[in-house]
A = this chain, B = another copy of it.
């Protein structure tokens, strides 16, 4: 037995972690655009990176280091340092050398970037930015805000986990999302800190499992970026650990952040949960859930608050899995609109269904009626704001 208690904090909820955001002049409006997470003790690191083959320089740099511990992660917005080749990696070396020369307590720093692809990172600005870092600051909210790109709100959460023996540990996290969110992998930046006594191996195992039903079940636009990163840093400062409790808390943190990211999807006005059941197996259910959360025709119908269940049925049929018109059922929240070949839809039902769709959050359930495979995914609508944001993101 254990208790999980939510804290109103972010990455500094874990003992011994410091964080802040500063402005290095990368965002044209002068908003903070660089953040750090510093731990007074060295941390074990578990991580998952993008499956995109055009892996950004920070990820290549991280991987090239092999096995290591760190006490510092630096993040910048506005420039992804992707498609920048060996020069992009050399830029990171130069930046991190300047950083450690300035702040001697930093060991093996890690850099993480998000923003435009295919532009050299502005080294001087970033090095000047590192001069503003005060490592004794606990301003997790400032850090979470600084890493935002097209996000409209910052994404943070933290839990205290009380174990049966009276000991406890903390987990805190921040993330940025907005565009290029896709179940192919983490597809955003997410930094999780903990003072639990968790080894890299155990954390990695739990992270690999938790990602399947959280970040990998979230879709904004079906694109997978070059920089996607989830990192868990543990400094062990609490001395406490329990695998089940840690797993539970980490899953809660990641699910919360995954849903927050979809809710804040570029231009999104609705967070829709796709609950697929009755599929041949879980993998087929996942295929359907992903097809639904990616379908442009479904997403635009959501935006128009149009209970066009025919598009849901068509998308199920197009997803490539075993499915039959005669066994399929579709519901909007508790309202069943199509039941195993029975056309239930009429004007009265349309009115009720439209009411469900006017909500900011609701569930679309598809029972394929074949076997017991199930999966739940999270998607949003696609409206004019998405087009506006993405038709000219770079400027």
Contacts and interface: CB of A to CB of B under 8 A. Distances in A.
Interface of A: 51-55, 80, 82-87, 116-120, 179-180, 182, 184, 221-226, 294-297, 300-301, 303-304, 306, 308-311, 313-318, 320-326, 328, 338, 341-343, 345, 382-384, 386-387, 390-395
Contacts of A338: 83, 118
Given A119-B343, A223-B297, A301-B391, 10 more contacts: A53-B318, A53-B321, A54-B317, A54-B323, A84-B343, A118-B310, A184-B318, A221-B297, A308-B393, A383-B387
Contact of A179 (B84, B297, B342, B390): B297
10 contacts: A52-B314, A55-B325, A80-B310, A85-B326, A85-B341, A223-B314, A225-B318, A304-B392, A306-B392, A306-B393
Contact of A53 (B80, B226, B317, B390): B317
This protein's copies in its complex = 2
A85 B325 contact: yes
Nearest to A180: B297
B387 A317 contact: no
A390 B317 contact: no
Question: Which of A54, A308, A328, A395 gathers most chain B CB within 10 Å?
Answer: A54
B382 A83 contact: no
A296 B221 contact: yes
B83 A315 contact: no
Nearest to A323: B53
Contacts of A184: 318
A229 to B, nearest CB: 15
A122 to B, nearest CB: 14
A387 B313 contact: no
A116 B310 CA distance: 7
Nearest to A222: B296
A318 B390 contact: no
Contacts of A82: 310, 313-314
A380 to B, nearest CB: 12
A137 to B, nearest CB: 33
A387 B323 contact: no
A200 to B, nearest CB: 27
B387 A314 contact: no
Given A83-B338, A117-B310, A343-B83, A387 B384 contact: yes
A384 B386 contact: no
Q: Which 9 A-B pairs have the closest CB atoms?
A: A117-B310, A304-B391, A54-B317, A300-B390, A118-B310, A224-B318, A53-B317, A52-B317, A304-B392
A300 B388 CA distance: 8
Given A85-B325, A180-B297, A387-B300, A53 B222 contact: no
Question: Which of A84, A310, A345, A386 gathers most chain B CB within 10 Å?
Answer: A310
A310 B227 CA distance: 12
Contacts of A328: 54
A316 B53 contact: yes
B226 A120 contact: no
A338 B328 CA distance: 48
A54 B316 contact: yes
Nearest to A185: B318
A314 to B, nearest CB: 5
Contact of A391 (B224, B300, B322): B300
